[in-house]
Structure 1
Amino acid sequence: MKPYLYPIAFSLLLISGKPAFAQVRLLTMETAVKVALEKNRDLQVATLETAKSGQKVREARSYALPTVSASAQYLYFPQKQVSFLPGSFVGLGENELATFRVGGSNAFLGGVAVSQPLFQAGIGAGIRAAQLYETASAEERNEVRASVVTDVKKAYLDVLITQEQLRLQEQSLARNVQALKDARSLLAQGRASRVDTLRAFVSVENLRPVLSQLNNRVEITRTVLKRTMGLDEQEAIDLQDSLRYDPNALVAPGADAFFEAVQARPEIHRLELTEKLNREQIALQTAERAPKLSAIGLLQSQAQANHLRFDRYSWPLSSYIGLQLNVPIFTGFRTASRIQQAVITRQQSETQLANLKEVVRAQVKIALSNLAEARLRIATQQQTVAVAELGYRITRDRWKQGIASRLDMSDAEFSLTQAKAHYLQAIYDYQTAAVELDKVLGRI
């Protein structure tokens, strides 16, 4: 290698040797929802189902349009076709038949057939049923969308509370480590016993497995969030929101929350449309008993010869137009059975709709109760945390002065950690209840 190339090669090696840092996706709860609405696979499947239902409407309308078909046929006869004539035509007896070989060895047949429905009672019902199915499919997609949004928000909150629990335990570990240092210092001064130092050491070591478990839970909750959003599991994410209590963030429901939920929930809309769809299915099956009238027509050309010299073929045309009437008389009770099945299905959908409304009524009541209970716990735990912090500071000062025991110090620290943990849990429960209330009221 030439000498002047060494610096260039060395620079390239340095560049290639630098670690490639994966880009971290910054996520707020709002952006997480937007990403999920774009990438969640369950929602993509529901969207495709809605598109497919639109094609069903197009298919139903096609039954009212004419049907045009073209056909072509070639036949080769090793033995030509046979026709039978009365024997008297060739001098045979009256009771005898004469056979003749007719036609050519090669036969060609082609034509265009047209059929236009003039009266079919089931076409209109089929179109209405397909349109209702399309609308019901859209409501089902909205139902999946609401579930995806709710699941993403809950998964996001799971990550937040796990991170906060980890941070809380880290703070507890820091306090216990400081208490261990103080205990060793007091032991050296003869102001604390060896037992107090051992207890402080045990408290520190007992917290380390808890931190390991919480670190693992953070990774698990992040994985669940990424899967719910539709992100690749290897993608790095960083949550920008924090677990906080904002009483003004939630829009309070009106006086009749149940009525609001019934008017907005996509599940109820879907079942209402399903009930209408089942009524159209009854009409569709009943229409099978009605006669069907169609206009038909055919344009046909045929030729036969013993050779394949097409320039010598004759292609005579024949055609007809007419009406075709089909009157069902007996179908082996199939039509009656299908009508009864449709009636029973409609009754099932009516029962399901009534049951769903009662379920929604209960869900609204439970969601409002959970929200009120979590709000009350937040107010209580705020005071508890303030009292626990004051108690910990007083106990720590008393312990340093030799007035309080190490056991009192441990109890105060544990009470402070528990109070903060309960406060975090109350905020998490409130946020989760608010997300669930939005879903129950159909606000998503």
Structure 2
Amino acid sequence: MKKFLFVCFIFFSVLVNGQNGWTLDSCISYAKKNNPSIKLQLLSAELAKISLMHNKMSFLPDVFAGASHSYNYGQTVDRYTNNFASDRVQSNNFYVGANVVLFNGFNLINSYKKGKLDAEIAVLDAKQTTDDISLSIATAYLQILYALEMKNNAQKQLELTLMQVEKNKKMFAVGAISEGNLLTIEAQAASEESQLVNAENQYDMANLTLAQMLDIEDVSSFRISEPEINELDTASFLLVDPKSVFEYAEKNHYGLIAEEYRVQAAEKSLNIARASRYPTLSLSGSIGTGYSGAARRLKDITPSGIDTVGFTSGSPSEFVMMPSFVYNYENTPFKDQINENVNKSIGLQLNIPIFSRFNTNTAIKQAKINLKMAEINYQQKRMNLQKTVQQAYFDASAAYKKYLAAKKQVLALQQAFKYTEHRFDLGLTTPLDYNDAKNKLSVANSDMLQSKYDFIFRTKILDYYRGKELKL
């Protein structure tokens, strides 16, 4: 009786804990926010967006500015006075320039288009990773439900056997059955108690697996909710056409679309490699000014007297006189030089590739191979997707047929067990016959549960490829 009460207590505790557990939707939502693989893929998508913006900005010109402050010693030609300077001369230069590529074999355009494809691929990869993890979580979730039903089935079997043990003890006490019969039923109870422990371990292991998938630290308290799955959704499954499922998946499966974009990106990479054969035409312009410490200007003129510069021809000759002046110079001010020394330039630069040590040819050959590999990967991904859909449909169909057969078998064995149990209670059959009927029913229940959850899992795969949300 104590064993029976203990088993009932365990069963009741599990039911209470299950009412406030994790739902499938909460598990998937938690994984989307916290799974490291999903986070990494989202960061990769952000990097791809940044690279795309970089490619987009490559169409703009390069604008640069500069300044210098220097001192020249020794004899040198001053760039602003064109005079020789032998003393220390201070000079300053200021400039602003720009350079823009006008044509480079459409390299910039193809790089931008490839960057756009790469950004789309990164987003699709993140979505595909999310879907893959969601499907894995759904699988682990169903495994817990299956393990729970197996545990509950083992508990019920043990409860029935413990009740028989109590009945047989009373019958043995009054001499209605032999000690051998009592020992046989007690051995059956011990065996089923061991089976219950194994079922509990499988249930705990299934919970641990899902908790670890979610990276939950307190795995000991992790429990899922227990949705009631009484009748299978066979109506929608019977309407499923694997061909239409694949046609939908071919257009909407993130992984396959990403592979298609990778083919297009490889084509752009080939165009980029071919662009190296074309000349590059660039437009550049600049404006600058400067200051030189050697630059001087006339400050003022001071009369210094009268000088004789010659004499006239004739008789008598007369001296030719002219006033003399002192010319005073000063350093040209910084502000004036900056305004006066402005220089501007504009030009076109044409760069024609002639020989690049076969680097361009090598890059083109590599790009062609990468394109072929991308095309093969796409075809392989498409075939694998088609096989997966076909396999999921036929597995679901087989599981459904197996479930119907197992359900029919369980109904028949339940009737047979009731009949055997009634005869056993009357002492008209042996414990071996009772245990045999009971074990057959237990095995049939296990087969039915296995086929039931196998069918649910396969239909969820089909629902996923049909674009339906993963729900129970």
Coarse TM-score class (shorter-chain normalised): 0.7 to 0.9
Query: Could you tell me which residue of structure 1 aligns to residue 35 of structure 2?
Result: 40
- Aligned-partner SS, 2:427: coil
Cα-Cα RMSD:
2.9
Aligned ranges for residues 314-329 of structure 1 at < 5 Å?
Answer: 314-315=337-338, 316-329=341-354
Letter in 2 for 1:241: P
TM-score by length of 1: 0.83
Aligned ranges for residues 70-85 of structure 1 at < 5 Å?
Answer: 70-75=65-70, 80=73, 83=76
Alignment partner for residue 391 of structure 1, among 407, 416, 433?
Answer: 416
Query: Could you tell me which residue of structure 2 aligns to residue 362 of structure 1?
Result: 387
Alignment partner for residue 198 of structure 1, among 164, 179, 183?
Answer: 183
Residues 137, 206 of structure 1: alpha-carbon distance in 2 compared, 3 angstrom cutoff? same
Indicate whether 1:111 and 2:99 are aligned.
no
Indicate whether 1:254 and 2:249 are aligned.
no
Q: Does the 8 A contact of 2:117 with 2:265 survive in 1? A: yes
Residues 421, 137 of structure 1: alpha-carbon distance in 2 compared, 3 angstrom cutoff? same
* In 1, Cα distance between equivalents of 2:287 and 2:238: 70
Query: Could you tell me which residue of structure 1 aligns to residue 24 of structure 2?
Result: 29
- How far does the alpha carbon of each residue in 1:165-197 deviate from its partner, in whole angstroms, 9 at most, with x for none? 111111111112112112212211212121221
Query: Could you tell me which residue of structure 1 aligns to residue 308 of structure 2?
Result: none
- Aligned-partner SS, 2:429: coil
Structure whose alpha-carbon radius of gyration is higher: 2
Query: Could you tell me which residue of structure 2 aligns to residue 217 of structure 1?
Result: 202
- Aligned-partner SS, 1:191: coil
Say which is worse superposed, 187-196 or 163-172, in terms of deviation.
187-196
Alignment length (residue pairs): 405
Query: Could you tell me which residue of structure 2 aligns to residue 91 of structure 1?
Result: none
Query: Could you tell me which residue of structure 2 aligns to residue 295 of structure 1?
Result: 283
- How far does the alpha carbon of each residue in 1:66-86 deviate from its partner, in whole angstroms, 9 at most, with x for none? 111222334456xx26549xx
- Aligned-partner SS, 1:248: helix
Indicate whether 1:153 and 2:138 are aligned.
yes
* In 2, Cα distance between equivalents of 1:107 and 1:23: 84
Q: Does the 8 A contact of 2:19 with 2:225 survive in 1? A: no
- How far the C-alpha of 1:348 sits from its partner, in A, is 0.8
* In 2, Cα distance between equivalents of 1:81 and 1:279: 60
- How far does the alpha carbon of each residue in 1:30-63 deviate from its partner, in whole angstroms, 9 at most, with x for none? 3433333333332232222222222222111111
Letter in 1 for 2:225: L
* In 2, Cα distance between equivalents of 1:332 and 1:191: 103
TM-score by length of 2: 0.78
Q: Does the 8 A contact of 1:67 with 1:115 survive in 2? A: yes
Alignment partner for residue 132 of structure 1, among 109, 117, 137?
Answer: 117
Letter in 1 for 2:30: V
Letter in 2 for 1:118: L
Residues 158, 415 of structure 1: alpha-carbon distance in 2 compared, 3 angstrom cutoff? same
Alignment partner for residue 286 of structure 1, among 274, 280, 291?
Answer: 274
Alignment partner for residue 45 of structure 2, among 43, 50, 54?
Answer: 50
Aligned ranges for residues 171-250 of structure 1 at < 5 Å?
Answer: 171-229=156-214, 231-234=216-219, 236-244=222-230, 245-248=232-235, 250=237
Letter in 1 for 2:460: V
- Aligned-partner SS, 1:337: helix
Indicate whether 1:332 and 2:357 are aligned.
yes
* In 2, Cα distance between equivalents of 1:230 and 1:221: 14
Q: Does the 8 A contact of 2:207 with 2:222 survive in 1? A: no
Identity of aligned residues (%): 18
* In 2, Cα distance between equivalents of 1:255 and 1:162: 30
Letter in 1 for 2:136: D
Residues 303, 127 of structure 1: alpha-carbon distance in 2 compared, 3 angstrom cutoff? same
Query: Could you tell me which residue of structure 1 aligns to residue 450 of structure 2?
Result: 425
Letter in 1 for 2:226: Q
* In 1, Cα distance between equivalents of 2:141 and 2:235: 20
- How far does the alpha carbon of each residue in 1:111-165 deviate from its partner, in whole angstroms, 9 at most, with x for none? 2221122222201111111111122222222221221221121111011111111
Q: Does the 8 A contact of 1:389 with 1:416 survive in 2? A: yes
Aligned ranges for residues 335-414 of structure 1 at < 5 Å?
Answer: 335-414=360-439
Query: Could you tell me which residue of structure 1 aligns to residue 61 of structure 2?
Result: 66
Residues 362, 304 of structure 1: alpha-carbon distance in 2 compared, 3 angstrom cutoff? same
- How far the C-alpha of 1:380 sits from its partner, in A, is 0.9
Letter in 2 for 1:222: N
Letter in 2 for 1:246: D
* In 2, Cα distance between equivalents of 1:230 and 1:31: 14
Residues 102, 70 of structure 1: alpha-carbon distance in 2 compared, 3 angstrom cutoff? farther
* In 2, Cα distance between equivalents of 1:23 and 1:421: 21
- How far the C-alpha of 1:102 sits from its partner, in A, is 4.8
Residues 369, 254 of structure 1: alpha-carbon distance in 2 compared, 3 angstrom cutoff? closer
- How far the C-alpha of 1:429 sits from its partner, in A, is 0.5
Alignment partner for residue 275 of structure 1, among 240, 263, 272?
Answer: 263
Letter in 2 for 1:356: K
Q: Which runs of 5+ in 2 are unaligned?
A: 1-16, 78-83, 295-330
Q: Which runs of 5+ in 1 are unaligned?
A: 1-21, 85-99
Query: Could you tell me which residue of structure 2 aligns to residue 87 of structure 1?
Result: none
